[in-house]
């Protein structure tokens, strides 16, 4: 964890330094759906959850084809789950929702000129804002079935930060000399345990796939 944090800080400082000396940089916004799930969730069957992300980004050219990339994003992560207890005829359906403020830092490699496909890679630091368990339990042993719902905070057992890696690709098009639009996709993989002190979910980590549409404005010094 310490090594990853040091790598993140070094990459962040490198991109900031490049930005200070760059003759131009791009600021922009993008948003879209976030398809999230969890890895290693035992005893409960998990499936993907569709949520949202909103991201502000900055690009600083390091060469003709390579940009330094910094982002600030609000992301909802989590998963849906179903659990059935045959012994007492109950079925629980719900979702875990994790809200994060995420700080990705990385590099972007561009192809072409006006219409530019690109690849990007980097690491991210995510700070937990909220964590909730929202579920409904149905008891089929009663007639009619008894339904019990809850919306509980699980901040007390959720790790407050996450560190991870991302890989992305996309397509950007310059519609004016200083304005571009982009279509962007990211695959994010968390490296830290989401609930580190819970034995039955000891390998639980975040994973997400983001699709964004956005725009950027090019500023010259």
Express each pLDDT in 6-52 by its tens digit: 676 776 667 666 665 667 789 999 999 999 998 875 545 678 899 99
Residue 102 has pLDDT above 50, yes or no: yes
CA-CA-CA-CA torsion sign (117, 173, 54, 59): positive
Element (H, E) at 72: strand 66-85
Q: What is the mean pLDDT of residues 147-151?
A: 93
The three-class DSSP label of residue 89 is coil
Query: Rounded distance, CA 218 to CA 81, Å?
Result: 44
Confidence of residue 85 (pLDDT cuts 50, 70, 90): confident
- Answer yes or no: are the C-beta atoms of 165 and 192 closer than 8 Å: no
What percentage of the chain carries pLDDT values higher than 70? 86
Query: Rounded distance, CA 72 to CA 128, Å?
Result: 14
Polymer length of the chain: 221
Query: Rounded distance, CA 17 to CA 153, Å?
Result: 40
Contacts of 42 (CB under 8 A, 6+ apart): 200, 201, 203
Domains, the chain, with CATH or none: 2-220 (2.40.160.20)
CB atoms within 10 A of CB 31: 17
Query: Rounded distance, CA 169 to CA 116, Å?
Result: 11
Query: Pairing between strand 49-61 and 66-85?
Result: antiparallel
């Amino acid at each position: 964890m310490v090594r990853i944090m040091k790598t993140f800080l070094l990459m962040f400082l490198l991109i900031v330094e490049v930005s200070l000396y760059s003759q131009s940089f791009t600021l922009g916004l993008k948003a879209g759906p976030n398809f999230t799930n969890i890895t290693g969730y035992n005893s409960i069957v998990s499936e993907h959850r569709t949520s949202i992300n909103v991201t502000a980004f900055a690009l600083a050219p390091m060469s003709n084809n390579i940009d330094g990339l910094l982002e600030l994003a609000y992301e909802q992560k989590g998963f849906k789950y179903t659990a059935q207890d045959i012994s007492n005829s109950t079925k629980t359906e719900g979702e875990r929702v994790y809200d994060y403020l995420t700080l990705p830092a990385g590099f972007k490699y561009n192809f072409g000129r006006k219409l530019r496909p690109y690849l990007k890679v980097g690491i991210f630091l995510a700070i937990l804002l909220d964590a909730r368990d929202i579920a409904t339990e149905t008891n089929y042993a009663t007639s009619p079935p008894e339904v019990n719902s809850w919306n509980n905070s699980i901040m007390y057992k959720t790790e407050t930060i996450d560190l991870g890696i991302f890989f992305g690709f996309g397509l950007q098009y310059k519609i004016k000399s200083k304005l571009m639009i982009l279509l962007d996709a990211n695959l994010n993989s968390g490296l830290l345990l989401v609930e580190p002190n819970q034995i039955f979910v000891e390998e639980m980590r975040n994973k997400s796939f983001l699709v964004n549409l956005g725009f950027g404005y090019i500023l010259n010094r």
